Structure 1
Amino acid sequence: MLTSEIEHYLREDLGYNDVSCTLVPDMEAHAVIFTKEDCTLAGLDVAKSFFDYLGINAETEYMEGNTIKKGDVIFSLHGSSVSILRAERIVLNFLGHLCGIATLTRRCVDIVRNFSDTKVACTRKTTPGLREHEKKAVIAGGGDPHRFNLSDSVMIKDNHVKMMGIESAIESARKMASFTQKIEVEVESSGDALLAARLGADIIMLDNMEPSAIIDTMTTLRKASVPEHVIIEVSGGINLGNLDEYAKTGVHVISMGSLIHQARWVDISLEFLS
């Protein structure tokens, strides 16, 4: 994390007159950060950035993506008592949020693995300013980050199609995109999926389609001898309750905005030791 980012977050939390943290004597202290529930770890590098900036020695035996149990100590901290108090809430907020994303992602990946090796991906439905960290948390949970931003690839969505039509949109994308950028087209029917494939789309997203319709579309594409390099992705309305049905469809990627926006924070705490 950049120094400017660290200072931004500290400024937001400390304000101009931090009496709370300076009530205690500034002395060498030992504290631990531990989890109150089983989880998958993410955000360790973010936490370490704050500890390093504040001169706190932070030791951990874990790595991103490790699964830990309730009561396990994530970090052992040594340093200024005031500095540890100032780092506490920011670090716990990041860890709680990012571990929550990683834990939900790991759960979804495990469900899909019962049926196939289909990738589980997140989307651009992220918290402004936190996308980098939220997507890295998905990676820690075994998921795929999808696009980090609009420049990573070209996605032709329903609104593009409404204004231009699939053929014109793909033609324009092929003219404007770099050879390094894949072109993805969002469709809602087997016919449009086949059209997108024939027009040279690299990725076809089947949006808001029921599993039965997806299976029919996959059959249609196979019968049409769509090139094997074309990636088939599904998205829209997929959650823990129906994920297994989508995992059975034979698609290459299942993308879920819920990996981030529906992830519950993990309960993580800091405690000073005597």
Structure 2
Amino acid sequence: MQDIENIAYIDGELFADMADRTVTAAIVSNEAGILSGVAAACTRGDELGIDVANIREEGSEIKEGEEVARFTGPPRQIALAGESLIGLLAKPSGIATAARACVKAAGRKPKVVCSAWKKMPPAYNEAVRQAIVTGGALPHIAADPFVYLDANHIEMLGGIRQAIEAVTRVAEGQTAVVQIKGKQASIIKEALEAAESGAGIIFVDTGVQLDVMEVTYELERAGLRKKVKVAFGGNITLKDLRKLKGQDIDMVDTGREIADAPFLDMRLEVVDVAES
């Protein structure tokens, strides 16, 4: 079976007798959400030779049944545009919608981060990063410049203290973000060592809420809490964020809850077919 796009590419015969027609079509959202992917969709429209006369802005709140974009062009080009433009809008919009929901669930604190876009294929990760930002979440756990020391880096460098000292030597002035999982010692001991060694952010990446609560408590007790930010992650869900709202945590990395969000369902509707 061949879809309409393949037919249009193969020979153009399907619309050969309609070269003198101009089609106006619209993309309509089947559900409410946050629009993302607008710049890429406009670029693709230009490549296809269609006139994207009206498209909602990046970050717009879309209602169910609302028109997202309207464009005109020859029938063959409209057929090509249908799938490609929706493809460039639907998935990023789903991610932006999920990001917005997570940000609302967390409230003012903790800040919501989704750094999972870096794990996407290179051709796709910028669209995911932009969608995360559009939804109101942060794409990085720290502002540049920073060095992220994951558990593997720490293992290879000989420990938490040694890893932070290495950052100080080669990247002076950059924030050291230290991932801890309780592998080298207890999660509390790792957190205290990281704070005492000069970490800027301690990332408790266990997914266990009791771990991060104990870390912040012990840091406060040791007089170190104000010297370091605490982030939390590990398969965090929307339900988890509601529980973490207002807690003594600076950032929560949600990962898949945002990056793996389903697409925002959209459809193409032909509005008018006119003689040129």
Q: Calculate the TM-score normalised by the size of structure 1.
A: 0.85
Q: Is this contact kept in 1: 2:54–2:70, CA < 8 A?
A: yes
Q: Is this contact kept in 1: 2:110–2:247, CA < 8 A?
A: no
Identity among equivalent positions (%) equals: 28
Gaps spanning 5+ residues in structure 1: where? 1-12
Between the aligned partners of 2:22 and 2:8, the Cα distance in structure 1 is 23
**Could you tell me which residue of structure 1 aligns to residue 254 of structure 2?**
256
Between the aligned partners of 2:198 and 2:155, the Cα distance in structure 1 is 19
Note the alpha carbon deviations across 1:60-97, whole angstroms, 9 max, x for none.
Answer: 36322221111100111022322222222122112111
- After the TM superposition, which residues 1-274 of structure 1 pair with which residues of structure 2 at under 5 Å, given as runs? 18-19=9-10, 23-24=14-15, 25-26=18-19, 27-60=21-54, 62-113=56-107, 116-125=108-117, 126-128=119-121, 129-146=123-140, 153-163=146-156, 164-177=158-171, 179=173, 181-188=174-181, 189-226=187-224, 228=226, 230-274=228-272
Q: Is this contact kept in 1: 2:36–2:58, CA < 8 A?
A: yes
Structure 1 residue 265 displacement after superposition:
1.0
Q: Is this contact kept in 2: 1:101–1:137, CA < 8 A?
A: yes
Q: Is this contact kept in 2: 1:21–1:85, CA < 8 A?
A: no
Change (3 A) 1:147 1:245: closer
Aligned residue for 1:142, secondary structure, equals coil
Structure 1 residue 249 displacement after superposition:
2.7
CA RMSD of aligned residues (A): 2.5
Number of equivalenced pairs: 257
Q: Return 39-48 or 55-64, whichever deviates more.
A: 55-64
Note the alpha carbon deviations across 1:122-158, whole angstroms, 9 max, x for none.
Answer: 123542021111011011111111169xx96311111
Structure 1 residue 259 displacement after superposition:
3.6
Between the aligned partners of 1:265 and 1:238, the Cα distance in structure 2 is 20
Change (3 A) 1:209 1:82: closer
Note the alpha carbon deviations across 1:24-73, whole angstroms, 9 max, x for none.
Answer: 12332100011011111111111111112223221336322221111100
Determine which structure has the larger helix proportion and give its number. 2
**Could you tell me which residue of structure 2 aligns to residue 4 of structure 1?**
none
Q: Calculate the TM-score normalised by the size of structure 2.
A: 0.84
Aligned amino acid, residue 267 of structure 1: D
Change (3 A) 1:15 1:71: closer
Between the aligned partners of 1:86 and 1:233, the Cα distance in structure 2 is 45
Between the aligned partners of 1:202 and 1:16, the Cα distance in structure 2 is 56
Aligned residue for 1:60, secondary structure, equals strand
Q: Is this contact kept in 2: 1:147–1:153, CA < 8 A?
A: no
Aligned residue for 2:138, secondary structure, equals coil
**Could you tell me which residue of structure 2 aligns to residue 6 of structure 1?**
none
Q: Is this contact kept in 2: 1:57–1:77, CA < 8 A?
A: yes
Gaps spanning 5+ residues in structure 2: where? 182-186
Between the aligned partners of 1:138 and 1:158, the Cα distance in structure 2 is 25
Q: Is this contact kept in 2: 1:214–1:249, CA < 8 A?
A: no
Change (3 A) 1:31 1:178: farther
